[in-house]
Amino acid sequence: QAQSSGLQASTTPLPVIVTKQGKHQFQVDGKPFLMLGAQTNNSANYPAALPDVWPVVEKMHANTLGIPVAWEQIEPEEGRFDFSYLDTLIAEAKAHDVKVVLLWFATWKNNAPHYAPAWVKLDNQRFPRVVTKEGKLLNSLSPHGKATLEADKKAFVQLMTYLRDNDPSHQVIMVQVQNEVGTYGSKRDFSELANEIFEQPVPVELTQALGVNNGSWQTVFGNDADEYFHAWHIGRYVDEIAAAGQAIKDLPMNVNVALRNPFNPGDGYSMGGPTDNVIDLWKVAAPHIDMISPDIYFRDHETATKVLELYARDDNPLFVAEIGNDQPYARYFFSMLGEQGIGFAPFGMDYTDYANFPLGAKSVTDEVIAPFADNYALFGPMAEAWAALSFTHPVWGFAEPDAKAMSGDVWNAKGTSQAEPDTEAPAPGEHFTQRADLGLWNAEVTYGREMFWINPPTGNTPASGGAAIVRLSDNEFLITAFRARVTLTPSDELAGQHSMIERVEEGHFDGQQWVFERVWNGDQTDWGLNFTSRPHVLKVRMATYSR
């Protein structure tokens, strides 16, 4: 007889990321899983805060909660561990039937050791900080501190041991290792110790993987040497912690990124983190990290969708670990799906009385929650089906473009939007028309038009439309959208043939099983498939005919 529940063997399969031919599937409880996530504000990691968390999760129809666990709270004194917070969190998550992504706030929480215990933060001898070129001490721990790595790893191993012994049904489905690693204000550590390491040759595993010559950091990487060196050592540090944790309980692990603006990077970003310029390097440095996940606080369509493209790779499942919780961000849920993404988590979704405006909304109100809740209400019932289909079939996602170029005073989108005002467009409505080649058929997605007739689209105010398409077979598509018209037209391959819609079924999914409700025909299909703010899921069969 087991002495405690912790010793009972688990029968539930571990959560896992499966990758096949560059496509990814997250499996939870042995089934395909789409993370309809929400992340709390910082400092929600106490039992006292949780009553302010669950009501928002529920309103959002989220199936996953991202929430911190802090090193300072589990190891307040060196070697003394306290997991009472997790006892409460896991029990309450189970009661709410919500999965959890734990965020390990430790050596780095947005560059700083704020969440490390005092015995770490106050001992700069044992746990050294980054020193700038000019000799200034920054409040960012150095990745070269061996004692820091060992101490963080020791605590993380205790955390994973706790999960192994106390979470046999895997309420916690993923662990994020650190939070927005990197350093603001220096490209690397310039301490004596760091300089010594910098003089050594670039590890051959890195030069080989990148296909560059061997040599010193300076000769191999030139102007990028300092940043790449810092990124490499943070990547290795994080990887060692992840590996030690996975040896105890093999959960998927990710890191999240304080992004640089891909169109206008500058050098004010968190250096050493897995920004778009060092994803390849990070992949070599941190093989135990399943995913590098962007934190998106660019509101404009151009930049947000560019980031999604950059982080959705054959070797990197796309998980939007954070995204602003204001209305403009909600539509990018559809873009994430089109990149074959496995999850999405708006940040700051609780009633703990904080708002990170201008990154996100000014406060968490029903109105702010609604667009995210609508997305999840639409995809909740077909989350498993979508995750299954997206793994085996081609998918496309569309988010409505901004009405006009965003002005330069949006702090995090300076000069990045190439969106043209409608008057410059070659044809009326062209700006609000997006096209995709689905194979034999093309899709046209338009925003802001009457359901009846062909008046050109004028966009929604504010931009809020989105659409998602799966190609089930050459002539068959699963389509859903909000505030958009989707039209399928024959592509060049079908030139010379007559084409038509054969049948449009509206229905829903029960698990992965399609359940038919009714056929759309007549007005409902004559002018394209018009989606409003209410959820509709369609299975569309196209056909050709000849005399």
Q: Smallest gap, in angstroms, from Cβ of residue 175 to ligand N0T?
A: 15
Instruction: State how far the Cα of 376 lies from the Cα of 59, in Å rounded to an integer.
Output: 10
Smallest distance from the beta carbon of 93 to ligand N0T, in angstroms?
19
Is there binding between residue 295 and ligand N0T (CB under 6 A)? Answer: yes
Instruction: Kindly tell me which residue out of 127, 221, 228, 297 binds ligand N0T, with binding defined by CB under 6 A.
Output: 297
Residue nearest ligand N0T by beta-carbon distance: 356
Q: Is 180 in the site for ligand N0T (CB under 6 A)?
A: yes
Going through 334-432 in order, the beta strands assigned E by DSSP cover: 343-346, 395-399
| 352 part of the interface to ligand N0T, by CB under 6 A | no
Beta carbon nearer to ligand N0T, 256 or 416: 256
Residue among 175 and 438 whose Cβ is closer to ligand N0T? 175
Q: φ, ψ for residue 431 (rounded to 5)? A: -60, -30
What values do phi and psi take at 60, rounded to 5?
Answer: -80, -15
* Minimum separation from the CB atom of position 352 to ligand N0T (A): 13
Rounded least distance, CB 171 to ligand N0T, Å? 22
107 binds ligand N0T (CB under 6 A): no
524 binds ligand N0T (CB under 6 A): no
Strand stretches in 58-171, DSSP E:
64-70, 99-109, 129-131, 137-141
Contacts of 183 (CB under 8 A, 6+ apart): 111, 130, 138, 140, 189, 230, 270, 271, 272
* Residue (of 291, 288, 282) closest to 249 by Cα position: 288
Check residue 302 for interaction with ligand N0T (CB under 6 A).
no
CB of 258: closest distance to ligand N0T in angstroms? 5
Query: Which of 481, 494, 466 lies closest to 529 in space, CA to CA?
Result: 481
**40 is a contact residue toward ligand N0T (CB under 6 A):** no
Closest approach of ligand N0T to the CB of residue 111, in Å: 9
Per CB under 6 A, 110 contacts ligand N0T: yes
- By beta-carbon proximity to ligand N0T, the closer residue of 326 and 384 is 326
- Report yes or no: 95 and 58 within 8 Å, Cβ to Cβ: no
Handedness of CA 199, 201, 207, 212 (dihedral sign): positive
The CB-of-224 to ligand N0T minimum distance in angstroms stands at 22
Using DSSP's 3-state secondary structure scheme, residue 425 falls into coil
Q: Please tell me the distance from the alpha carbon of residue 43 to that of residue 47, in angstroms, as a whole number.
A: 11
Total residues interacting with ligand N0T, rule: CB under 6 A = 12
Residues 242-261 that bind ligand N0T (CB under 6 A): 256, 258
The Cα–Cα gap between 130 and 271 comes to 12
**What is the closest distance, in whole angstroms, from the C-beta atom of residue 219 to ligand N0T in the complex?**
33
- What minimum distance in Å lies between the beta carbon of 298 and ligand N0T? 10
Nearer to ligand N0T, 356 or 489 (CB): 356
Nearer to ligand N0T (CB atom), residue 41 or residue 480: 41
Output 104 or 297, the one with its CB closest to ligand N0T: 297
User: How far from 8 is each of 2, 138, 306, 385, 421, CA to CA, in Å?
Assistant: 6, 46, 46, 32, 62
DSSP, res 51: G
Q: Does 441 bind ligand N0T (CB under 6 A)?
A: no
Q: Of 327, 356, 442, 491, which lies in the binding site for ligand N0T, with binding defined by CB under 6 A?
A: 356
- Determine which residue in the list 25, 45, 179, 275 makes contact with ligand N0T, applying CB under 6 A: 179
Q: Pick from 25, 40, 42, 460 the residue near ligand N0T by CB under 6 A.
A: 42
Give the separation between CA 109 and CA 376, rounded to whole angstroms.
29
Contact set for ligand N0T, span 307-346 (CB under 6 A): 322
How far is the C-alpha of 336 from the C-alpha of 309, rounded, in Å? 9
Q: How far is CA 218 from the centre of its chain?
A: 33
- Rounded to the nearest 10 degrees, how much is the dihedral formed by the CA atoms of 357, 358, 359, 362? 30
Query: Would you say 138 or 157 has its CB closer to ligand N0T?
Result: 138
107 vs 475, beta carbon nearer ligand N0T: 107
DSSP assigned state of 431: G
140 near ligand N0T, judged by CB under 6 A: no
C-alpha distances in angstroms, 462 versus 93, 303, 499?
A: 35, 18, 35
> Residue 429 — left, alpha, or beta (φ > 0 → left; ψ -120 to 50 → alpha)?
left
Residue 45 binds to ligand N0T (criterion: CB under 6 A): no
Cβ at position 478, least distance to ligand N0T in Å: 34
Which residues of this chain interact with ligand N0T, rule CB under 6 A? 42, 110, 179-180, 256, 258, 295, 297, 322, 347, 356, 359
